[in-house]
Amino acid sequence: MSAPLRSAARSRRAALSAAVVAVLVVVLLGWAVTSRAAPLLRVDRSVADALYVGDHPAGWLDGLLQVATAPGLSVVRWLVYLPVLAWLLARRRWWTAGWVTTAVVLVAPLTAGLKDAVGRIRPQFAGGGAAYDTLSFPSGHSSGVATLVTVGLVLAWPLLGRRARRGWPAAGLALAVLVGLTRMWLGVHWLSDVVAGEALGLGVTLLVAVAFGGLPGGRAALPGGRAALPGARTVTEAEVAR
């Protein structure tokens, strides 16, 4: 097996391993919530009480938090990725557009289904979760921003240089953590909601990328480096599987 094939195979194994761990985190947290595991509930309550900004925060603070939490919204994902999808379709990158669209679309109904299955009530702060009639686990903003970040990193990875491959994951992680914190500062989610949401977005996106061949070297990946040169090709899924 050539070096590019070995690299693509390693990427696939690493992504699958990360996705399995992420899914297990969601399952275990969901089980702990539905079984009302006392240690988890104590941690959730302590963190919620410590982070909640209060029922009547200053107007500027509330506005700042609403802006900071916005990257988790579905509308933001579409505002970011509709131009990307148009660019991919214009270049006939059908498989790439397919996996990106699937990941961006799939996370919302999966999150909603888990909310209904677990049936957890939001933190009952007067200025926070008590004002919502929707359920809490997992956090939709957290799953949304994790999807936003993971799709962006996987899609752009072949195009990034060595320095960018250190900087952009750090920036993406910081954004995901920030959105998760805002959900607790605003008093609308528990810590376990946020962790499960982030894990769900990460796991679903990686599984979709693997299924479509969207990882670097796959049929749905963008060409980068030598693969971007005229006459070069990307590694096919069949070759990776050999």
- Please give the pLDDT value at position 217: 87
pLDDT higher than 60, residue 80: yes
In this predicted structure, the answer to whether residue 230 has a pLDDT above a threshold of 50 is no
- Mean pLDDT, the chain, rounded, equals 90
For residues 23 and 195, give the distance between their C-alpha atoms in angstroms, rounded to a whole number: 11
Region 186-206: what's the mean pLDDT? 97
C-alpha distances in Å from residue 94, one per residue of 52, 91, 101, 155 = 45, 8, 10, 13
**Stronger pLDDT, 23 or 226, i.e. the higher one:** 23
Q: Is the pLDDT of residue 17 over 70?
A: yes
Structure tokens at 222: 């963008």
Q: Is 136 helix (H, G, I), strand (E, B) or coil?
A: coil
Distance (Å, whole) CA 5 – CA 241: 9
Q: What is the pLDDT of residue 113?
A: 97
Which residues, at least 6 apart from 187, have a Cβ–Cβ distance to it below 8 Å? Answer: 48, 52, 53, 123, 125, 127, 128, 129
User: Would you kindly state where each structural domain of the chain is located, as residue ranges?
Assistant: 3-241
Alpha carbons 180 and 116: distance in angstroms, whole number: 21
How much is the average pLDDT of 226-238?
Answer: 40
Mean pLDDT, residues 116-133 taken together: 93
- Whole-prediction pTM: 0.88
Share above pLDDT 90 across residues of the chain, in percent, rounded to a whole number: 79
Q: What is the pLDDT of residue 42?
A: 97
